C-alpha cells in the first residue's frame, strides 16, 4: 500500500512510519467503489478529502461534462474557506479504488504532518496560479474559446463535452454568433472538436 499512496497528491514524500501512524489514527485504506456510484453531488457540503486512486470518473455541472482518469484528489480547495460546497457532480464510470478522509481527521491528524501541509499548500497554490493564467485577456475568438476550455478542464481530463446553445456560448465568449460559428467549424475541420446539436466535444 505504501508504494501506491506516496504517489498520490498530498502524500508525496511521507515516510512509511508516517503512513503507519495515519493508519493507526483513522484507518487509512484504499476501498473499492462500484461503477455507477455517485461520489459527490454539486452543491452538497464538502465533508472531507477524496482521492480517486484508480479508475475513471465523470464530473459534470448543468452545462458541461468531462471524463477524468485517476489518480485525482477531488476538489481539495473546497474543504476550507468561504465556500465549502462541492463544485461539480462526480460519478464513477468504471470500478474505482478510493481513499476518503473526513475533515475532522484531516484537521486533527493529516495536516499535523509537515510534509502533508507543504504538499497541500503547494497544491492550492498551483490551482490559484492556473486560474491566474486563465485570467489573461484573450483577443481572438479562438483564444477566448481555448481559455474557457482550459478554465474548466481537469488536468487528468480524457474528454470534455459542453452542453450549451451557440447563442449562449457566444454571449459567454463575448463574440458574435457568426464569428463563433466560423471558429468552431475551423476547429472541427482540424479534428480538435466534434459538434452536435447544443453539444461540443473537445478532444486531446
Going by pLDDT thresholds of 50, 70 and 90, the confidence category of residue 4 is confident
pLDDT at residue 172 is higher than 70: yes
| pLDDT of amino acid 135 | 54
54/88 same-domain check: yes
| Cβ–Cβ under 8 Å, residues 101 and 26 | yes
pLDDT at residue 126 is higher than 70: yes
Going by pLDDT thresholds of 50, 70 and 90, the confidence category of residue 181 is very high
CATH for 56: 2.60.120.10
pLDDT at residue 151 is higher than 90: no
Count other Cβ atoms within 10 Å, centred on residue 200: 21
| pLDDT of amino acid 138 | 64
What letters, b where the CB count within 10 A reaches 16 and e where it falls short, cover 21-30? bbeeebebee
78/158 same-domain check: no
Q: Which domain holds residue 153?
A: 141-202
| pLDDT of amino acid 153 | 84
67/160 same-domain check: no
156/81 same-domain check: no
151/102 same-domain check: no
| pLDDT of amino acid 27 | 82
Is the Cα dihedral 110, 123, 75, 20 positive or negative?
Answer: negative
Question: Among residues 109, 134, 159, which one ends one of the domains?
Answer: 134
At 22-53, the pLDDT tens digits run 988 888 889 999 999 999 999 999 999 999 99
Domains contained in the chain, number:
2
Instruction: Give the mean model confidence (pLDDT) for residues 101-114.
Output: 95
CATH for 197: 1.10.10.10
63/123 same-domain check: yes
Question: Among residues 134, 155, 178, which one ends one of the domains?
Answer: 134
At 58-70, the pLDDT tens digits run 999 999 999 999 9
pLDDT at residue 134 is higher than 90: no
174/112 same-domain check: no
> What is the chain's mean pLDDT, rounded?
90
Distance (Å, whole) CA 19 – CA 21: 5
Query: What's the full length of the chain, in residues?
Result: 204
Amino acid at each position: 500500500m505504501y508504494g501506491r499512496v506516496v504517489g498520490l497528491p498530498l502524500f508525496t514524500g511521507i515516510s512509511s512510519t508516517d503512513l503507519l501512524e495515519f493508519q493507526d489514527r483513522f484507518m487509512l485504506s484504499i476501498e473499492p467503489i462500484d461503477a455507477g456510484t455517485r461520489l459527490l453531488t454539486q452543491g452538497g457540503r464538502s465533508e472531507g478529502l477524496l482521492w480517486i486512486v484508480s479508475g475513471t470518473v465523470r464530473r459534470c455541472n448543468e452545462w458541461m461534462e468531462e471524463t477524468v482518469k485517476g489518480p485525482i484528489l477531488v476538489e481539495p480547495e473546497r474543504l476550507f474557506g468561504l465556500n465549502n460546497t462541492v463544485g461539480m457532480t462526480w460519478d464513477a464510470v468504471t470500478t474505482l479504488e478510493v481513499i476518503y478522509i473526513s475533515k475532522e481527521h484531516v484537521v486533527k491528524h493529516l495536516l499535523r504532518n509537515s510534509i502533508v501541509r507543504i504538499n497541500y499548500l503547494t497544491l492550492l497554490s498551483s490551482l490559484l496560479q492556473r486560474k491566474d493564467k486563465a485570467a489573461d485577456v484573450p483577443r481572438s475568438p479562438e483564444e477566448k474559446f481555448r481559455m474557457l476550455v482550459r478554465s474548466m478542464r481537469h488536468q487528468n481530463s480524457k474528454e470534455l463535452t459542453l452542453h450549451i446553445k451557440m447563442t449562449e456560448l457566444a454571449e459567454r465568449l463575448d463574440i458574435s454568433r457568426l464569428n463563433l460559428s466560423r471558429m468552431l467549424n475551423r476547429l472541427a475541420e482540424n479534428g480538435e472538436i466534434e459538434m452536435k446539436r447544443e453539444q461540443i466535444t473537445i478532444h486531446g
